[in-house]
Amino acid sequence: MKVLPRARYHSGMTAITISAAVLLAAVSLQVLAMPHGLPLAAVRSPATSSPGFASQMGRVKDLAPGTLLVAARRLGDPNFIETVIVLVDHSDDGTMGLVVNRRTSVPLSRVFQTLPEAQGQSAPVYVGGPVSMTAVQALVRSTAAVPEGRQVTSELHIIGTHRALEERLHGPGDPDRFRVYLGYAGWSPGQLANEVGVGAWHIFPADADVVFDPEPDTLWRRQIRQTEFLLAATVRPPPRVRPTRDVRALFPGTARTGSCRPARPAPAVRQR
């Protein structure tokens, strides 16, 4: 099954943009950091290994702002191999998310060269997805309201305007509470539900600790191991059923213990 191409989906905020040179540097570094496995032509699209596989990946109705998507091992889209995504918007118009585990080595000071507030900021930027990669968004972790921000969950807010970013850059730029992303992941209406239905994504509830994980480079590996452990723990072998009296009737001579093993045949009678 071929994964549908991502459609452009805009968050409704006035996003700032960056120069092509900075974008090229960030993307080039990220491509070098991506996992290299099978050649692109040999990468398989997501598929199910059993009829019950898709139902174990999470239900479509669980998709909501703040939901976490963990790429299944079978996901063959090179843009999303081994990714963890937080959804920041989900409605009838489409879905928008940010990849939270593709950190680059490009510092904020290089991305915002024209902003005095960004000078000296060494925190790295992240590649948030393949759509509109010259646009910049940021996630803020705060239990209080964020000026010009849109609340995603009780602890997560997304911002994308000049003024909001300038205010955040005035501070120390704590990477545990403020991260900047280039681009985003977007799905047209029904597209993500279709991918979930074929088992391309594992769905988890919102968790700010995962979004702001201090070791994003190993985040997918830890999440997928936890996912597979939970799946293995919930899969139980079918219960043993003792054969009923009707079933025993189909096997004359069956032992009364219900084992369904025919009794030993009587020894042959010798003729004199």
pTM over 0.85: no
Scanning 47-197, the segments in alpha helix (DSSP H) are: 53-56, 108-111, 162-170, 191-197
What gap in Å lies between CA 29 and CA 27, rounded to an integer? 5
- At residue 204, what is the residue type? F
Pairing of strands 131-141, 94-99: unpaired
pLDDT at position 245 is 54
Sign of the torsion angle spanned by Cα atoms 200, 34, 160, 124: positive
Sign of the torsion angle spanned by Cα atoms 168, 171, 176, 179: positive
Which tokens in the block code for residue 244?
Answer: 């009923």
* Mean pLDDT estimate for the chain: 75
In contact, 152 and 204? CB cutoff 8 Å: no
| Least confident range of 42-46, 110-114, 169-173, 174-178 | 42-46
Which tokens in the block code for residue 122?
Answer: 């060494």
| Residues in CB range of 90: below 8 A, 6 or more apart | 63, 64, 65, 67, 96, 192
Residue with tokens 């992941």: 185
Question: Which comes out higher in pLDDT, residue 12 or 168?
Answer: 168
Is residue 5 very low, low, confident or very high in pLDDT (cuts 50, 70, 90)? very low
